[in-house]
Amino acid sequence: MNIQDIKQRFEIIGNSPLLNYALQTATKVAPTDITVLINGESGVGKEAFSKVIHSLSSRKHGPFIAVNCGAIPEGTIDSELFGHEKGSFTGALDTRKGYFETVSGGTIFLDEVGELPLETQSRLLRILESGEFIKVGSSKTQKTDVRVIAATNRDLLDYSSQGKFREDLYYRLSTVPIRVPPLRERKEDINLLFRKFSADFSEKYKSKPVMLDAEAQNILAAYRWPGNIRQLKNIAEQLSVLDEDKNVNAFELSQVLPPERPSLPALMVNAADANQMSERDIFYKVLFELRKDLSDLKGVVFEMMQNGKTTMSPEDFGMKPNENSIFNPGMYQNNTNQNNSIQNNYSKPNNIIDIPVLQNPEPESLSIEHKEIELIKKALEKYRGRRKKAANELGISERTLYRKIKQYDLEE
């Protein structure tokens, strides 16, 4: 089966060379039993590639199951994947088969495999190496014949260096890696995908298909699409429902496109620190550094006032001298008649910067852990303890939130 036939069968739209290369790799590896790791951002269609591999393999008549590892709570994921014996934990009223037992002879797709707990990773590694597993609460070894296709939007080697993912498991999973390109690297496919989605929603809602003018098409192609194909499909559906005449110009398109996130200030960290910091940690650190600079500035002003200085020069702030800038907080100190006289007779030039008397600033906590606890508490209060909504607000999985609550002892 050639690439065009595969695209038509699995409704994969696009002619990007990067997309075609990923599909060619999938078709070559499909007839084997090799474990495959699919890399790609959220929303690029990684599950479609797992279905291509399964459908073109010798296991195509066997079962196929897709498991979102990030959506299963940490306390139950071993039971879901490997099964459990009756009475092995609270609520285990019956013996239960796990996915690796029920899908024997077929294919299991582990999406978000980077979210697996380390203990579960050890169990998965044993299956990949020997095809053996043990149910939760059992001592009996069982065999399974399952092909594993994993997917992640994480850098698993980076996770490995942070102690969050087993390096030996990474190399077992990535026997053949397949990278699915993000939409911003497939600009030639964006308008083609939009027309396909527009036609689908036209049929669904019994309306005319949405048409974009030339300028709107340029905006569509230039947008970065952080949510990738899933986000583009949502935009097409919005326009299909909301736009009355279905002829969309640049202004109308800009009304439904979320503003692109501005770039954060650059933060210089060494390689060792970078390996220990997540994107959220780096974001916090940027904010804390800015707040610390402001606190330092307040401290300089307060110290000069305490020492009775009536004029502040740019050198006090680590700046080069500038004759056009005058710092004179002395006019605000009214404790002597001399100062009152100066103030009454003083004509303030336009280039003077007034600095009021400040109270001694209290040092702020710059602990990332402290801020993380504060954010988790606020999210839980906002949604009245509903963890799923709080996790969505924080941009983390429900299982990660559960682990953080345990870690910081935030149970009510």
Domains delineated in the chain: 3-181 (3.40.50.300), 185-256 (1.10.8.60), 367-407 (1.10.10)
Handedness of CA 208, 213, 219, 221 (dihedral sign): positive
Could you tell me which residues come within 8 angstroms of residue 168 by beta carbon, excluding any fewer than 6 positions away?
A: 125
How much is the pLDDT for 405?
84
| Residue range 162-180: mean pLDDT, rounded | 95
How much is the pLDDT for 304?
64
How much is the pLDDT for 108?
97
How much is the pLDDT for 264?
47
Which tokens go with 366? 């710059």
* Residues paired with 132 in a beta bridge: 143
In whole angstroms, what is the distance from residue 352 CA to residue 325 CA? 6
| pLDDT of residue 88 exceeding 90 | no
How much is the pLDDT for 177?
95
In whole angstroms, what is the distance from residue 78 CA to residue 74 CA? 8
Q: What are phi and psi of 353, to 5 degrees?
A: -100, 115
pLDDT tens digits, 93-104: 888 999 999 999
Give, in order, the Cα–Cα distances in Å from 111 to each of 71, 148, 225, 401. Answer: 10, 11, 21, 19
In whole angstroms, what is the distance from residue 183 CA to residue 227 CA? 9
Of all residues in the chain, the percent with pLDDT exceeding 90 is 57
Secondary structure class of 32 (helix, strand, coil): coil
Average pLDDT, the chain: 82
CB 360 within 8 A of CB 302: yes
Name the more confident of 140 and 392. Answer: 140
pLDDT tens digits, 287-298: 666 666 666 666
pLDDT tens digits, 337-391: 444 444 444 444 444 444 444 455 555 555 677 778 888 888 888 888 888 888 8
Which tokens go with 369? 């852990």
Of all residues in the chain, the percent with pLDDT exceeding 70 is 74
Within 10 Å of residue 27's Cβ, how many Cβ atoms?
Answer: 15
Phi-psi region of 61 (alpha: psi -120 to 50; beta: other; left: phi over 0): alpha
Nearest to 22 by CA among 32, 12, 31, 33: 12
In whole angstroms, what is the distance from residue 77 CA to residue 196 CA? 37
| Residue range 16-41: mean pLDDT, rounded | 96
| pLDDT of residue 16 exceeding 70 | yes
Which tokens go with 150? 């994993």
Name the more confident of 331 and 117. Answer: 117
pLDDT tens digits, 212-265: 999 999 999 999 999 999 999 999 999 999 888 889 999 999 999 988 765 444
Q: How far is CA 119 from the centre of its chain?
A: 23
pLDDT tens digits, 2-14: 899 999 999 999 9
Is the pTM higher than 0.75? The answer reads no
Name the more confident of 334 and 137. Answer: 137
In sequence order, what DSSP letters do the residues of 326-350 get, joined into one string? EE-GGGG--SSHHHHHHHHH----T
Least confident piece of the model among 190-194, 286-290, 405-409: 286-290
Q: What is the dihedral of CA 148, 151, 155, 159, to 10 degrees?
A: -50
Q: What are phi and psi of 173, to 5 degrees?
A: -75, -40
Half-sphere exposure of 409 (CA within 13 A, CB side): 0
Q: How far is CA 348 from the centre of its chain?
A: 52
pLDDT tens digits, 52-79: 999 999 999 999 999 999 999 988 999 9
In whole angstroms, what is the distance from residue 64 CA to residue 181 CA? 24
Name the more confident of 301 and 314. Answer: 301
Within 10 Å of residue 282's Cβ, how many Cβ atoms?
Answer: 16
How much is the pLDDT for 274?
44
Q: 163 falls in which pLDDT band (50, 70, 90)? A: very high
Q: Which helix (H) or strand (E) holds 399?
A: helix 398-407
Which DSSP letter does residue 70 get? Answer: G
Which DSSP letter does residue 395 get? Answer: T
In whole angstroms, what is the distance from residue 303 CA to residue 255 CA? 50
How much is the pLDDT for 92?
81
In sequence order, what DSSP letters do the residues of 77-138 get, joined into one string? HHHHHH-B-TTSSTT--S-B--HHHHTTTSEEEEETGGGS-HHHHHHHHHHHHHSEEE-BT-
| pLDDT of residue 402 exceeding 60 | yes
| Residue range 392-409: mean pLDDT, rounded | 82
